[in-house]
Amino acid sequence: MNMAKQKKFNIPRKKGKETNWKNLNRSILWRIKAAKRKKETAKYSAFFQKKLKHCPICNNKQYQTFVIIYGYKYAECKSCGHIFMQPPLDLKAVRHMYSGGKKSSMQDKIYINNENLFKKRIKQIATPKVEYCNGIIKKKGVWIDIGCGVGEMLIAAEKTGWKVFGIEPDLREVKFAKQHGLNVAQDFITTDNAEQLRDADVVSLISVLEHINNPSEFLQNIVNALPRNAYVIIEVPRHPSLSSFVNLVFPNLAYRHIHSPEHLHIFTEKSLATMFSRARLKAVGMWEFGQDVSDLILLAAANASKKESQFIGMIYKLVPDLQKVVDEKSMSDTIFIVTKKF
């Protein structure tokens, strides 16, 4: 990929987000255990489609292997830079991971039945995102969160005046959300049922598109069902980023960003721009942030079999300042972007 040719969105950007990852239990040991679970899930989910003949976003036929994680190969498009699983996971395997089965995604170990962590995530993660959106979207109405999980975004949005509704395929997460008074349906959005989005003023896809076999087609189906001037809020993992490098050098400890089997795609600004153009979306605001430096330090320690120590703690205190540099250079691992249908 020629980095010089990477298309950039010419829109207002916010850079950086303060997050206390240790307060969310993200220690060295936590990362090691998370990576172990990823390896286990990867074994059970290795059912694939035919090898793709071109980039799933821009259709360019030239690509190269970027990294192999837990036996899953990821390719990098030489035109738009998009990273994609090659060959892609079978659609049935993808659905099984998010249906709440015994051998499904590790989401339940992170989010379900941990009330204290749930509240922390609402305060530290969901609320700042909703507040950012409210700074752009002035009129409140109906907010539908697709892939809502246990409902952090819904609670944060509802507290600021939105009428909220969630759609989530994992029954366990749906039950958890309903226990907190949220209106959430267990479902997968498809072409056949996308019509239920017709009254939405906002649809959010937070950490969703990277899990979809064909994210461009999926996004188009959603936008087609929305009224004109509706907003679509998207959060995806970004490449190039420091976290892409971390996964490249520590593939056996990958638990987020480029990791198998859950993430099928890692997006560049150019691949996102291609998708938005097809779906008739205009980007109006972007927030760039990540946990690249935190992962770099703690995965390096984990790779060397080092435990938490006073010295590692001193190094870890550098994370906020170092992450700011990464964010300012647009090399952080997450893009949170607000778009509008035209």
pLDDT digits (tens, 9 = 90+) for 186-235: 999 998 999 999 999 999 999 999 999 999 999 999 999 999 999 999 99
Domain extent listing, the chain: 3-341
Nearest-angstrom CA–CA distance, 260 and 254? 8
Nearest-angstrom CA–CA distance, 51 and 59? 14
Closest CA to 289 of 160, 144, 128: 128
Owner of token pair 């738009």 = 80
- For 101-134, b where at least 16 C-beta lie within 10 A, e where not — what string? eeebbbbbebbbebeebbebbbebbbbbbbebbe
Helix (H) / strand (E) containing 154: helix 152-159
* Band of residue 312 on the pLDDT scale cut at 50, 70, 90: very high
pLDDT digits (tens, 9 = 90+) for 103-142: 455 455 556 767 888 998 999 999 999 999 999 999 999 9
> What's the CATH superfamily of 3-341?
Vaccinia Virus protein VP39 (3.40.50.150)
- pTM for the whole thing? 0.93
Residue 284 CA, chain-centre distance (Å), reads 19
Helix (H) / strand (E) containing 176: helix 171-179
- Using the 8-state DSSP alphabet, how is residue 21 labeled? T
